[in-house]
Structures are given as C-alpha cells and as structure tokens.
C-alpha cells in the first residue's frame, strides 16, 4: 500500500508537471495575435458585431487565465464603420481551478479609455439592439426529423447555480458614455468616469468610489458628481445594500442663469427584489442652503411602486435659495418668503405625491393639512389647508412704474377738485368730471399657466389679509381645470360685517372672461375705504348684492367692459364733510332774498338709510332710484357713476317733510310754503368727494320761486273773489271761478 501511495503521488506530480509544461508551452509557443482574423469572424458569427483589434492580445493560461486587449473597437455589422465602443486597454485574469466549481476568482480588473456611444435613430432603433442576434437577423427554427414529424419537445433546463464572484478590485479610468436620441434631439453624456472598488465578494462590503462629469444639451446642463459608499450584494436573495452612501457634486447650466448648485445626498439604501421593497433610511439632503432630513420606503416594486415616508426641511430663506439657482422672484413685501420650514408625512406613486400631517411655516403664518399632486403629468394639485393668519398682500409683486404713474395722475386730479370744493363750502362751481384713468393697464393674469391648472383647493384662515382688508374666519373653495377657474366660495367676516363671493374665470381665450356674484352684509364702508388709503366721503353699514361680468386681461379692460346689476343699502350713515342742511339753507336764503349771516353748525350730514340700484353697462353704472332718509328730509336722486374714471354725475332732489325746526341761519327759515317742495341739487366730480361735490341748482330754484309766486297770486285772487261775491253766489260757482284762474 505504501508503494501504491508513492506511485500515485509520483503520478499526480508528473501530471502537474505535464500541465505546467503544457501551459508554459501554450503561453510561450502559442500567440493569439496570429488568430485575430478567426476571432473577428467568430465575433461576427456569434455576436453579430464587427470587432477591430488594432493592438496586441496578451494572455496567460495557468494558474491564472489572463487576457489583455489593447486598442480595440466594436461596431455592429449593420454599420461596421461606425464603432459604438472602443477602449485603450482591458486587462483581467481568472483562476482556472475555481471555474470548475462555478466560482469566479479574479485579480484586478482594469479598464482604460472606454468610450461607449449609444444612439437611437429617428425610427427609434438603438445601435446596440442588434448585438447578439444572428447575422441574417432571423432565428433558426429547430430541425425536423427526416420523417417530417415535429421535433420532440425539449425538457426545460434546471436553473443553474449562479456564479460566485470574487474579484480583488475593479478599476475604470477615463471612461466616457454618450447616449443620443435623434427622435428628440437630446444627448446625455458622462465623461471622465473614474471607478475604483475594493474586493468584490458577495455578502461582504465593497468599498466604492465613482466620479464623473455629466452633460445634457436640451437644456445645456453640466454636473460634477462623486459617489462613495459600501456596496453589499446578495444575488441569490436579490438583496442589495448601499451603506454610508454619499452623492455630492455641483450643477450649472442654462436653467440656472449663470448660477451654480452644490448638492449632497446621504443615507442607507436597501433594495430587496424578492420582497419588492426599497428603503432610504437616515436620509440627508442639502441643496445650497436648503437642508432636509427624512426616510423613504417603496413597496410593490414589481407593480406600481407605493412610496411612503417622512420629510423635514429646516428653516431657510426661499427667496435667497431661488435667486441662488437662477430663478429670482419678482419684488414683494419686506421679508416675504424669508422663513420657510416644513415637516410632513408623505406617500405616493411614481406619478403622484401626497403630503399628509403637513406643518408648514411660511414667514409669520402656519399652515396645517394636506397637499397632494394626483398626477405629475397633469399637474393635478389638491389642497386642504388651515392657516392661523396669512397676509396675501405681502406676496404681491410690486406695482409697475406705469401703474404708479396712473395712480399719481388721478390722485392729483382728485386732490385739486377736493381742495376747490372744500374751500368754497359748496358755493364754488361744480367740479368737472375726472378724466384720468383710475385703473392699471398692466397684464393681470398669466393665461398660459392658468390654462394648465388642475387645482382643487379648500382653504381656511383665522385671519386673511387681501388688498389691505383684514378678513376673519375666511373660507376659500376653488377649482380649476381646462382653462376654467371656478371660485365656489370666498367668505369671511369683515369689520364686524360679513361677505360672500362666487365667481368664474374663463381663461381659454386670449381675452379672458370674468363673472362675479357677491353679497356684502353690514360692512362699515368707511373702514374699507380707509384700508385702501382713501379719505371716506361717507360712513355707514353697507349691504350690497351684485352680479357682474367683464372681459380683458387688465384692470382697465375689465372695468371698461363691465356689465351687471347691483342693489345697495347704507344704514346709520354719515355724509362726511358735506352739510346738506347748509346746502338747503343756501337755496332757501336765495328764495327769501336774504344773505346768510352765520357759519354752518356742522360739517357732516347724518342719515338713517341710503338705498338704490345700479344697472352697469360698459363700465358706467346708472342709478335711477337713489333714496336717502334724513331727519325731516327725503332725498331722491338719479344719475351715473363712471367706474372707468371713478366719476359721478347726479341730479338730487331734497324734500322737506315738515320738520320746521330752527334752521342754522335766520335767512333760511322754513315756512309752510316750502314743505313738500323738491329742492334741486347737482352732484358732479370724482367719486371720492361724495356729497362735497354737490351744489344747489340755481335754475331749479328759479322754477321753485316761480311756482311759489304763482301760488301766492292765486291765494290772493281767491281772497278777492270771496270778498267781492260774498254769499251772492253759490259755493260751487266760486270754486269754479277759482279753478279757472288756477289753470
């Protein structure tokens, strides 16, 4: 037995010596460069590629099966003169004996100067799609037996045991990959690719570092990127982990308007394709000064992936951030968008996103609720939010110079008319109708963006400020789709009053159409006017119902085309700086032929009720039934309000109902003859002047004087008839004679 063992050992030793000698002979006596033509033909037949080997082929056989290629090019047979890949050098070696156990044990794998060009032509065909197909482009059918019967079905192959990888390291230097799509004209390029890894073994951490420069042409964008971390692979379980992942870089290009973005993304990544889940834990993202933390999970990766997680964004200055990425915002109020902070739970799919349990801090406001994008392609936005307070005026773009000039010109015109009216105390000529435009011609609505809106919003505010109006308990419901924006409801409490508004905006045409229905209940009108920086000509509680429509994309165009109806009532009010009693006193003094000797006792005129209706056509509101109730007086009026220039032209009649109390001046004492007469007045000028633009009409007073004189003459004639006839004729005859002279 000892002899047999010795013989067996010598036999094995001899066999190994023969194998080593054979390997030496093959590697030194056999030169693969002599078989380049055969290798090219084999590549044509088996892989349908044109392989060009300009450099030498180096190889080794045992104990390492090594291969080294230099200056090689690969093209498809369809375009052999257009290589889609070339490289400067490829070197790798594999241990021979582990291959017999389906184990791949490799030394360092090194790739130098790889250049890969992928092209999809105008027909949608990719230049890589023909690789591996038979040269004739058809698959060979299984051969039939000689008797013509169908071939016997082949038994399905048993799944083979996967190869076990064991690579000392992988290095790629100065690689380049380019993808072009002629159907879109877009090109994506990765250049100066550098990849290095530690030992590549399944179930063990693989240290990885990858750097590259990325480019696109539509739009032109350039990025420098670096990816580092530890990769762990388990191909049997289809489980992949990327621990301590860190992706960083810098981005620049046309969308950034000459600015640059520095970004970092970190965390622990996991993909389990058996369970069809993926996770990104310990998520950290920074983009310039923006910082975010969170976690993301995805399930049902084999179907429509379902995403969930949480996200928290630290406070940052949104205006500075957007300016830093080349997307500056228009000028707004001081500090607008200076403090943004958010925390939320999120869920969604690749085409949708929901932010639940949202807590958003926007400057001095806090929003809670839900924001959802139902469809990214349609930009379908859904909002359900509550806010403690929100000042919308803070976020309005600054007025243009044109608008400022328009306002200044009109203000100067109004101030001139007001100064003359106040200085004359109602005795100066009527102010002229204003002629300066009261509204801006600036573009009001971004029609293209409005047409793309798909929005449903349900918002509530503890306090909402719009156009300087403080609205408490505000509710806003609106929806937009296909270029039509519908305001289902905007309501709230305003200065202890209430208002409700509905409306519709059709932005499908170049000239948008707007319709509004509003109801105002007991809102102090002077508080509204004061909030707009105006001196109120009237005070009182306004109740208003209006149904209005207009067309245009500017304030001026909308007012110029405004049509509709309205009714209004002003209760417990005061005409400010306008003493109608003094105006009436001037008319009575004129008829009494006496000059006024005293000063007016007050500047204002209180009234119990002011009512009327408006019929609006092309920006001009006709008011045929203005009525006011003042103690002892009734005021009737009719006229027009030109909303285009905010001017008015009214004829007003004041009727003394019988209150003949002491008048402010002896020259205007009321007697019985003045009761029931309508005293004529004319109001004309800027709407802001209110009753300060009213004057007694002297022509109308002349008619009243003629009437009073006629009545007085008839009274004296009746007395003469009674005196002369006495009881000589019947009463019927005396009445007939008096009636004759009254005609």
* 211 domain-assigned: yes
The pLDDT, as a whole number, for residue 501 is: 95
Whole domain around residue 428: which residue ranges? 404-445+512-696
CB-based contact 640:626 (threshold 8 Å): no
Tell me if the bond preceding 631 is cis, omega within 30° of 0: no
In a domain, 256, yes or no: no
Please report, in angstroms and rounded to a whole number, the separation of the first and last CA atoms in the chain.
Answer: 165
Kindly report each contact of residues 252-258 with a partner whose C-beta sits within 8 Å and lies 24 or more positions away, as own/partner: 252/221, 252/222, 252/223, 253/216, 253/219, 253/220, 253/221, 253/222, 254/219, 254/220, 254/221, 255/219, 255/221, 255/326, 256/325, 256/326, 257/326, 257/327, 258/326
**Bridge partners, residue 543, by sequence:** 569
- The tally of domains found in the chain comes to 3
Asked which of 218, 234, 257 is the last residue of a domain, the reply is: 218
| The pLDDT value given to residue 294 | 96
Residues 536 and 671 in one domain: yes
Q: In whole angstroms, what is the distance from residue 81 CA to residue 79 CA?
A: 6
CA dist., res. 642 & res. 480, Å (int): 33
Same domain, 683 and 715: no
Rounded Cα distance between 148 and 160, Å, is: 33
Q: What is d(CA 44, CA 77) in angstroms, rounded to the nearest whole number? A: 7
Assess whether 734 and 594 both reside in one domain.
no
Q: Which of 172, 166, 165 is nearest to 90 (CA)?
A: 172
Residues 612 and 586 reside in one and the same domain: yes
Q: Does residue 608 sit in the same domain as residue 722?
A: no
**In this structure, are 626 and 604 located in the same domain?**
yes
Statement to judge: residues 643 and 719 lie in one domain: no
652 and 718 co-located in one domain: no
The answer to the question of residue 367 being in a domain is: no
Q: How far apart are CA 313 and CA 286, in angstroms?
A: 10
pLDDT of residue 1: 45
Looking at the structure, tell me whether residues 92 and 182 fall in a common domain: yes
Residues 687 and 716 in one domain: no
> Could you tell me if residue 639 is inside a domain?
yes
Distance between CA atoms of 76 and 644, rounded to whole angstroms? 74
> 527 and 409 share a domain?
yes
Q: What is the pTM of this model?
A: 0.75
Mean pLDDT of successive 10-residue stretches along the chain, which has 743 residues: 45 42 48 70 78 76 69 84 86 68 73 90 85 57 53 54 73 93 93 93 91 95 96 90 96 92 96 95 96 96 94 95 90 88 96 96 96 91 96 80 62 58 56 80 87 94 93 96 94 95 94 95 91 83 95 93 95 77 61 59 75 95 91 85 90 72 54 68 83 72 60 47 44 44 43
Does residue 727 sit in the same domain as residue 645? no
Which has the closest alpha carbon to 470: 518, 531, 394, 519? 531
């Amino acid at each position: 037995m000892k002899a047999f063992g010795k013989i067996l050992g010598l036999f094995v030793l001899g066999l190994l010596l023969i194998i080593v000698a054979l390997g030496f002979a093959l590697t030194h006596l056999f030169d693969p460069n002599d078989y380049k033509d055969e290798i090219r033909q084999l590549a044509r037949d088996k892989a349908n590629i044109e392989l060009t080997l300009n450099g030498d082929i180096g190889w080794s056989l045992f104990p390492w099966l090594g291969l080294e290629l230099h200056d090689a090019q690969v093209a498809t047979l369809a375009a052999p003169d257009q290589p889609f890949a070339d490289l400067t050098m490829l070197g790798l070696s594999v241990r021979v004996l582990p291959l017999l156990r389906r184990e791949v044990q490799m030394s360092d794998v090194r790739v130098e100067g790889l250049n890969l060009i992928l092209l999809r032509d105008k027909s949608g065909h990719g230049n890589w799609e023909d690789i591996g197909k038979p040269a004739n482009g058809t698959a060979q059918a299984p051969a039939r037996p000689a008797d013509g019967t169908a071939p016997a079905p082949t038994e399905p192959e048993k799944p083979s045991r996967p190869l076990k990888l064991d690579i000392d390291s992988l290095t790629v230097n100065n690689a380049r990959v380019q993808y072009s799509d002629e159907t879109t004209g877009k090109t994506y390029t990765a250049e100066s690719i550098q990849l290095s890894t530690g030992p590549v073994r399944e179930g063990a951490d693989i240290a990885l570092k990858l750097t590259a420069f990325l480019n696109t042409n539509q739009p032109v964008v350039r990025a420098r990127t670096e990816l580092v971390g530890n990769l762990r692979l388990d191909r049997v379980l289809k489980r992949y982990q990327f621990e301590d992942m860190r992706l960083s870089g810098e981005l620049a290009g046309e969308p950034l308007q000459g600015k640059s973005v520095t970004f970092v993304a970190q965390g622990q990544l996991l993909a389990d394709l058996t369970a069809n889940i993926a996770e990104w834990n310990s998520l950290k993202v920074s983009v310039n000064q923006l910082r975010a933390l969170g976690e993301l999970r995805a399930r049902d990766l084999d179907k429509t992936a379902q995403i969930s997680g949480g996200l928290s964004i630290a406070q940052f200055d949104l205006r500075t951030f957007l300016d830093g990425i080349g997307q500056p915002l228009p000028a707004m109020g001081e500090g607008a968008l200076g403090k943004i902070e958010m925390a939320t739970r999120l869920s969604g799919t690749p085409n949708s996103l929901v932010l639940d349990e949202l807590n958003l801090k926007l400057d001095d406001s806090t929003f809670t609720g839900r924001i959802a994008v139902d469809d990214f392609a349609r930009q379908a936005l859904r909002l359900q939010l509550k806010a403690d307070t929100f000042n919308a005026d803070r976020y309005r773009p600054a007025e243009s110079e044109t608008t400022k000039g328009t306002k200044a010109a009109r203000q100067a015109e109004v101030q001139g008319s007001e100064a003359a009216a106040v200085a004359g105390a109602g005795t100066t000529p009527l102010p002229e109708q204003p002629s300066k435009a009261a509204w801006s011609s600036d573009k009001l609505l971004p029609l293209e963006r409005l047409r793309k809106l798909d929005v449903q919003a349900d918002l509530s505010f503890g306090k909402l400020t719009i156009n300087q109006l403080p609205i408490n308990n505000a509710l806003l419901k609106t929806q937009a789709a296909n270029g039509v924006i519908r305001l289902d409801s905007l309501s709230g409490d305003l200065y202890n009053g209430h208002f409700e508004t509905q409306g519709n905006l059709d932005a499908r045409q170049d000239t948008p159409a707007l319709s509004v229905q509003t109801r105002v209940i007991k809102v102090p009108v002077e508080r509204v006017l004061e909030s707009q920086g105006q001196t109120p000509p009237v005070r009182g509680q306004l109740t208003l119902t209006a149904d209005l429509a207009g067309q245009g994309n500017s304030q001026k165009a909308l007012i110029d085309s405004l049509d509709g109806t309205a009714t209004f009532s002003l209760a417990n009010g005061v005409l400010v700086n306008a003493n109608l009693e003094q105006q009436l006193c001037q008319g009575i003094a004129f008829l009494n032929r006496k000059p006024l000797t005293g000063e007016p006792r007050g500047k204002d005129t209180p009234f119990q009720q002011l009512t009327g209706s408006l019929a609006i056509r092309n920006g001009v509101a006709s008011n045929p039934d203005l009525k006011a109730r003042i103690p002892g007086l009734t005021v009737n009026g009719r006229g027009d309000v030109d909303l285009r220039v905010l001017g008015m032209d009214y004829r007003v009649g004041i009727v003394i109902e019988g209150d003949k109390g002491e008048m402010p001046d002896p020259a205007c004492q009321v007697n019985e003859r003045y009761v029931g007469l309508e005293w004529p007045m004319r109001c004309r000028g800027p709407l802001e002047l209110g009753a300060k633009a009213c004057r007694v009409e002297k022509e109308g007073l002349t008619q009243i004087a003629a009437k009073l004189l006629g009545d007085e003459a008839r009274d004296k004639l009746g007395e003469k008839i009674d005196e002369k006839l006495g009881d000589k004729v019947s009463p019927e005859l005396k009445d007939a004679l008096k009636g004759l002279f009254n005609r």
